[in-house]
Amino acid sequence: MGKCAVITGASRGIGAGIAEKLASENWNLALCARQDAETGKAQCAKLKEKYGVDADYFRCDISSDSDRENTISSIIERFGSIDALINNAGVAPKVRADILEMTGESFDFVMNINLRGSFFFTQLAARQMAAQRSGTIINIGSCSATVASINRGEYCMSKAGVGMATKLWAVRMAEFGVNVYEIRPGIIETDMTSGVKEKYDNLIAGGLTLQPRWGYPEDIAKAVASLLRGDLAYSTGQVINIDGGMNIGKL
Ligand code: NAP
């Protein structure tokens, strides 16, 4: 059996890009999302045919305790090991509301998926990696971990939490030889940003990013592949910004 990478939120956007890139680098894939099994299996079939890897789909709502448990145990049964976990599933708030108007429902919705879901999914995978004494964990965080957007504060807080989760897991898993990283995308062209395309087109044209273009799922996927190849093997716990230089404060 080859090495198995688990990718959450693999159905579209950044997660689908990561799946394609890792398949091209010979990783077997356990793809997780909420789309129906037929669509997920069809995505796997395409990757298997194109790259000759093994791939399977596991329907999983990351905010559900029972889905997470069933998914991790099914993956271990199916693939025998978890060699990489890419925590990518994430949502923006359904409505961008000023923090003076934010509802508890929206706070819970975003936190339950982005922070609680990814943390407890990691916990299950980390127990397996600890037993194996091997593996790599990569959190897909966000530039919003440090940049305050008052009309989606719940998202910013969730991603700031992911930043601490990265450190916590790096500390906890070091004794097992498991490296933990966080990739912080900037502005990436996916469904998540499709509703604010014009706003970001204008900001990018106005110099928000040093490299004057949108990021693409491939930009994130290349960074994930590099980490899984071991290119930054002596850097556990670190944050890799993939944002066209957006994080540099300018005067
Ligand atoms: P996207 O195109 O909206 O895709 C989101 C993915 O997450 C989908 O595969 C979706 O699967 C999955 N997902 C959502 N809720 C889920 C749940 N409850 N359980 C399981 N899977 C769920 O978003 P994206 O832009 O690719 O974002 C991927 C990650 O990058 C997110 O964590 C996001 O916060 C982060 N990010 C994105 C940007 C950006 O500019 N796009 C910037 C910084 C960080 P379904 O098919 O099941 O809905």
Taking the CA of residue 244 as centre, how many other CA atoms within 13 Å lie in the half-sphere pointing to its CB? 16
CA–CA separation, 156 vs 248, rounded Å?
18
- What is the pLDDT at residue 1? 67
Ligand 1 site-directed mutation target among 59, 120, 190, 239, most atoms within 8 Å of CB = 190
Mean pLDDT of residues grouped by 10 in the chain (251 residues)?
94 98 98 98 98 98 98 98 98 97 98 98 98 98 98 98 99 99 98 96 97 98 98 98 96 88
Residue 91 CA to ligand 1 center (angstroms) comes to: 5
Pairing between β-strand 4-8 and β-strand 28-33 as defined by DSSP bridges: parallel
Q: What is the DSSP letter of 142?
A: -
CA–CA separation, 140 vs 114, rounded Å?
10
> Would residue 57 show up in a list of annotated catalytic residues for this protein?
no
- What is the pLDDT at residue 2? 85
Please tell me the pTM assigned to this model: 0.98
